[in-house]
Structure 1
Amino acid sequence: MKTQLTIGMVATMLCFACTKMIAPRPEANENLAVSNSAVAPYQDASATAFFRRTSGSIAFDGALSVPLSNGKVVWLFNDTFYDDLNSDGTVPCIFNKHNTVLIQPANHSWDPAQTTNLLLYGNPDLFQSVTPGNYFWPSAGVEIGNKVYTVCLEMSSSTGQLVNEILAALNEADNTVSYTTLPDFNGIDFTKGMVKNLDGYVYVWGGKLKPNTIGQCDVYVARFPQNSPGSWTFWNGTSWGTAAAAAAVIVTAPSGGISVSYVNTKYVMIVTNFNMVCDGGTAIYGAASSSPVSGWDAIGTNVIYNIPDRLQGHTPFFYTPCIHPEFNANNEFLFTYCINTYQPCVAACNNNKFDPDIYRPRAVRVPFSVLNL
C-alpha cells in the first residue's frame, strides 16, 4: 500500500468561468434502464465484492473504468497487491505493482472469477516508464478506435513526487502501450475525468491546489481532438486556447479527490472531503451541470453520501472517487471510492501481514433523482 506520508504528498500534488455555450454531447448509451426504486445513494454489495479478489490483482486503489465498444470494460488500477495472497487471507505489508489492468466481460458480471488481468509478455503492469526508478499511475480514460487512452502520472520512486504527465494508449489487440508527449500543464493535474463527445473532442478535467487553503482544489478543463490526441487546448473562461497558464478556474472543490463524467445527459462531478489520515471525515459531495465548463457551484456544500466504513470506531483515509456511467441500471449511476487503512488510529501491518480489505475500493449506487439527472 502507499504509506500515509506518500499519500499525503500525492494528495497535495494532485491538486497542484461562467460563459453561455452549447454543451457537446457524448456518445449515446443505449443501455439506460427505465425503473428506479431507491431514493438515496447506497453501497452496492455485488460491485464492492467484485474487488475482493483472491488471484491476480488482489487489492489496489484507483479503480477507473473505461467502457469498450464491444461491451467489455477495462479497469485501470494504481498501486496493487498482485498475486500475493497468503493462506490466511492476508497479504504482505507492501504492494508489489504500481499499476494493473483488468478486463470485465460484456455481460458486466460482478463475479471476480469472470474478470482477468491483462498481461504483456507475462507482466501485469502494462504502463511502464522508460526512466529507471520512475513508474506510472493511470487515470480516467476513454476508448478511441481500438485503443484506451489515459493520462498517466509519472512518479519518482525515490522522492514520491510527480515528475511528468503523459498520454498513454493501450492497444486492445495486443496490450502494448504507446505514449504521446503532452504540453506544459502549468502544474495542473489532468486526471480528474475524461469524456469522449460527439463533437469530435475528448474533454479532460484537472485540478491544482488552491493557494492559501487547506486542501481545496481549483478545477480546470481541457480538450483534444479525437484524431489528434496530442493537440490540447484549455478553457480560458471565454474560449479554448493553447496555453495552460491562461486556463480558467471553473470551480473550486473541497479537495483533490475529484471525478467528472457524463451521466444521463449531464456532466456529473463528485468530490471527497479533504482528509489525509483516519477520522478525517466521511463526506462525498456531488453536483451536475449541462455544461462541461461551468455549473458545479454546489460542489462544496451538496453532500450526497457519507462513507459507512468503520474499524474499532474509526473512519479510514479515503480518496480517488471514480464515476462509472456505464453501470446505469435502474436509473442509477455507480461510483467507487478507495480506502487506505485506518492509520494511525489502527495499525495496519501486524507480523508483516496486512488485511487487503482495508485497501480496496467500495462501490456506491446513486439514483439519478439525487442530482436531478
Structure 2
Amino acid sequence: MFRARDAARVLACATLVLGACSPAKDPAAVSDAAMNSRWTRAGDAAGPGQWSGADGTSSVRLPDGRVAWFFSDTYLGPVNPDGSRSGAGFVRNSLVVQDGDRLTTVPADTPVRPPLGTPGWYWAGAGHVEGGKLVEFYHRLNGSGADFDFTEQGVALATFSLPGLRLESVRELPQAWPAPARTPVMWGAALFDEGSWTYVYGYRGHLDRLDRPKWLYVARAPRGHVTDVPSWRYDTGTGWSADPSRAAELPTPVDSGFGMARVGDGYALVTRRPSADLGDGAMIAYLAGSPAGPFREADSAVIYRAPEVSSGWFVYQARVHPELGGHGRIVMSYNVNTTLVDGQCVPQNLRQASVYRPRFVSVPLGVFRRGYAAPPARGVTVGPGWFRTCPRL
C-alpha cells in the first residue's frame, strides 16, 4: 500500500536530491521561435523600401510600449517567391518600429549619415530614452567595404523625437586619434542602467594584428545625462576620472557589438567569443559582481553555440534585449552573414534572403554560471538551389 510516508519520501527525492532518483536536465539556451518567425514573416513580405534583412540589431523600449529596432547594413525591398532578392535596395543603417506584432520600417530621415564632408558611414550601436528623446549611438567607419577593409573612425550621437521618431540631430563626439595602429574608443557599443548611473561601454581595435582584436573600455554618466559627455566618468582601472585620456584599456576581449544583462545578484557581459575565425559560433558571458566588471575569462560561460557556422556562414555581434526577457530568461540576438560565391558573383545574401537576418535566442538564467559550456549546436539546413552554378562575370 502506498502510504503517506512513501509519498513524503518521493517528494523529498524530487525536491532535495533531484538527479539521484532521475536524470536532471541541464538548462540550455534555445532558438526563440516566436521572435525569429516574426522577423522572417516581415522580411519575406517586404514591399518597396521595407526591411527584408540586416545586421546590427539593437533595440530600445519606447515609453509608449513600442520597440525601436536599429540595424546596420540593411536590404530593402521585396523577396522573390524562391526566397532570393533581386534589385534589392541597400542602406548602411535603418530603423524599424515594433508595435505588438507589427513591424514598420521608418523611411523618413533614415539612413543616418555623417555630417557633410565627413567621410565614411554609420553603423548602429546602442541606444536608450532620456529627456523625452530617443538617443542612439552610431559608429562611423570608412573603407571600400570589400574584404572587411573598413576601419573605425569615430562615434556620433543621434537624437530622435518621440513619439514621432523624427531625426533631430547627429553630433559627432570629440575624439583624439590614438597611437598608430589603434582605433578611437568606439563608445556606445552597449549601455546599461544601474542605480544613479548609465554605464557606457566601448572598445578600441588594434589594427596591427591580423585578428584585429578589440578590448573593452567602460565609462558612466549620471542617469539621464548620457548626451552630456562632459559629465561622463571613465574607468581608469583603479577608479573613475573625468579625463577621457585616462580611460583604461581593460583586459577583456570583446566583439564590435555586445550587451549587458542583470543576472541574479550579478552582471553578465554577453559577446560572441572574440576570435579571428568568424566561424566560431560560441556566445559567451563574462560574469562579474559590478556593471564595471572586472570581466575575466576565468569567470565566463559559453551560453550558446550558433548552428549557422556549420553551413559555412559566420556570426557576430551578440546583443541583449532586456525588454523581451523575463520569467527567468533573457533574450539575445546575433547576426548571420556570408561571403561571395566563389568570389565571382552576387553575395549569397541575395540568393537566400533568410540568411542575412538576426537570430534570436532565449537564454535561461541558469546557464549564467562560471564554467558552464553550452552543448554542441546542430547544423542548419541549406535551402534548395543554394549551390547552383554561379555564372562568371
Q: Sort the TM-score into its range (normalised by shorter chain).
A: 0.7 to 0.9
CA distance in 1, matches of 2:345, 2:305: 23
2:341/2:348 contact within 8 Å kept: no
Q: CA RMSD in A?
A: 3.1
Match 2:126 to one of 140, 150, 163: 140
2:331/2:361 contact within 8 Å kept: yes
2:255/2:271 contact within 8 Å kept: yes
2:133/2:160 contact within 8 Å kept: yes
Q: Deviations over 1:229-280 (max 9, x none)?
A: 23233111233223333212334226445333445554321121345676x2
Identity of aligned residues (%): 23
2:269/2:286 contact within 8 Å kept: yes
The change in CA–CA distance for 1:348 and 1:57 in structure 2 (over 3 A counts) is farther
TM-score scaled by structure 1?
Answer: 0.76
Offset of residue 63 of structure 1: 0.9
Say yes or no: does 1:165 pair with 2:164.
no
Match 2:311 to one of 310, 314, 323: 314
2:216/2:252 contact within 8 Å kept: yes
Structure 1 residues not aligned, in runs of 5+: 1-36
Match 1:115 to one of 93, 99, 103: 103
Alignment of 1:138-217 (within 5 A): 138-156=124-142, 158=144, 160-174=150-164, 175-184=166-175, 186=178, 187-199=184-196, 201-209=197-205, 214-217=211-214
Offset of residue 100 of structure 1: 1.0
CA distance in 2, matches of 1:351, 1:322: 24
The change in CA–CA distance for 1:369 and 1:180 in structure 2 (over 3 A counts) is same
The change in CA–CA distance for 1:301 and 1:347 in structure 2 (over 3 A counts) is farther
Q: Which amino acid aligns with 1:284?
A: M
Offset of residue 355 of structure 1: 1.3
Q: Which amino acid aligns with 2:154?
A: N
Using CA pairs under 8 Å that are at least 6 residues apart, name the structure with larger relative contact order, 1 or 2. Answer: 1
Q: Which amino acid aligns with 1:176?
A: L
Q: Name the structure 1 match of 2:221.
A: 224
2:135/2:157 contact within 8 Å kept: yes
Q: Which amino acid aligns with 1:365?
A: S
Q: Deviations over 1:295-317 (max 9, x none)?
A: 3213785211111125xx53311
CA distance in 1, matches of 2:263, 2:129: 17
Q: Name the structure 2 match of 1:288.
A: 287
1:126/1:176 contact within 8 Å kept: no
Q: Deviations over 1:21-70 (max 9, x none)?
A: xxxxxxxxxxxxxxxx9811111111112222121111000110111222
Q: Name the structure 1 match of 2:346.
A: 349
The change in CA–CA distance for 1:173 and 1:126 in structure 2 (over 3 A counts) is farther
1:269/1:286 contact within 8 Å kept: yes
Q: Which amino acid aligns with 2:203?
A: G
Q: Which amino acid aligns with 2:332?
A: F
Q: Which amino acid aligns with 1:307?
A: A
Aligned residues: 324
Look at both structures and tell me which one has the larger radius of gyration over its CA atoms: 2
Q: Name the structure 1 match of 2:303.
A: 304
Structure 2 residues not aligned, in runs of 5+: 1-24, 179-183, 371-393
Alignment of 1:1-373 (within 5 A): 39-52=27-40, 53=43, 54-55=45-46, 56-92=50-86, 96-105=90-99, 109=100, 111=101, 114-120=102-108, 125-131=110-116, 134-156=120-142, 158=144, 160-174=150-164, 175-184=166-175, 186=178, 187-199=184-196, 201-209=197-205, 214-225=211-222, 226-227=224-225, 229-231=228-230, 232-253=232-253, 255-263=255-263, 266-275=266-275, 280-298=279-297, 302-309=301-308, 314-341=311-338, 349=346, 353-372=350-369
1:80/1:96 contact within 8 Å kept: yes
CA distance in 2, matches of 1:178, 1:274: 33
Q: Name the structure 2 match of 1:31.
A: none
Q: Which amino acid aligns with 2:188?
A: T
